[in-house]
Structures are given as C-alpha cells and as structure tokens.
Amino acid sequence: MTSYYHNIDCIPDLSGKWNTLGTIFKRKTPSDIPNFDTIETVLFSQEITQKDNFLIIKEKDRYRLGVLNFMYGEWSLTIADDDDDGIMRLTPKNSGNYSHWTGNYAEPGFDNRTQQSQAVAKVEMLRENEHCNC
C-alpha cells in the first residue's frame, strides 16, 4: 500500500536561519480604494526549527507554524500567520533545491474582530549564507 505521506527520510531539512523578502500590496481599511502606491518591500530574518513535516518559524518575538507537504511530485510549504488569518504558500524556486523558496501570502483582513489590513504579497525565502541567482 502506498502511503499518502512521502518517505520521512526524504523530508527537506529547513531548520536554520533564513532571510525573507516580501513585496506587499495592501490597503488599511475597507473604505480605502486600492492604490499601487501602497506596494512596499520588506526584508526580515527568521529561524526555523523542525520536527518531521512540522515547523516553528521564529522572527524576533513572533512565532508562526508551518507544515511541509509532498503533492504532485514536489514539496510545498504552508505557513500560518500568528496575528490574523494570513497564509503563506511556498514551493522550491528550483525543483530539488530546498535553500530557496518562492510563493505568495494572502490575508483577507477586515474581519470585525481586530483591525487587520487586506494584503497580498510575493515572497522569497532564502537560507542564510546562500546566494540568490534570481
């Protein structure tokens, strides 16, 4: 019987230090008319610890949870935001190279419980001390 889960010995090891670059497009309130002038780029560092497919992503005093999945012949990484309903989805930039991940972030915002911004972003995550050949 074929297991749904990929061989545990083949799970990419993402533990360690990472730099993440995000190009973010957002609006602050539901009444804001979307405006491309709000696009900004941010760079931040984070550290990942891992157990099997599960990850803890630490950035300064924040913690996020992540999970690696193997689907359609490739690994994907899903990270849940820690302060709202945002989700980041990443795949390896180059198949089989797990030191550079790329994808997107989406946050619906405006949930009436807390004031969150509606946002989408392009995301690049690169293992520290690796060089990007973008």
What predicted TM-score, i.e. pTM, was given to this entire model? 0.84
Q: Return d(Cα 48, Cα 15) in angstroms, integer.
A: 5
Amino acid making up residue 24 = I
Q: Where are the beta strands (DSSP E) in the chain?
A: 16-27, 40-51, 54-59, 62-71, 74-80, 87-92, 100-107, 118-127
pLDDT given at position 2: 44
* Contacts for 62 with CB less than 8 Å, ≥ 6 apart: 82, 83
pLDDT given at position 77: 97
pLDDT given at position 62: 92
Domain ranges of the chain: 8-127
pLDDT given at position 7: 54
Q: Summarize pLDDT for 77-106 with one digit per residue, the tens.
A: 999 988 777 899 999 999 888 999 999 999
Which residue ranges in the chain fall short of pLDDT 70? Answer: 1-9, 110-115, 131-134
Among 3.40.190.10, 2.40.128.120, 2.60.120.10, 1.20.1050.10, what is the CATH number of 8-127? 2.40.128.120
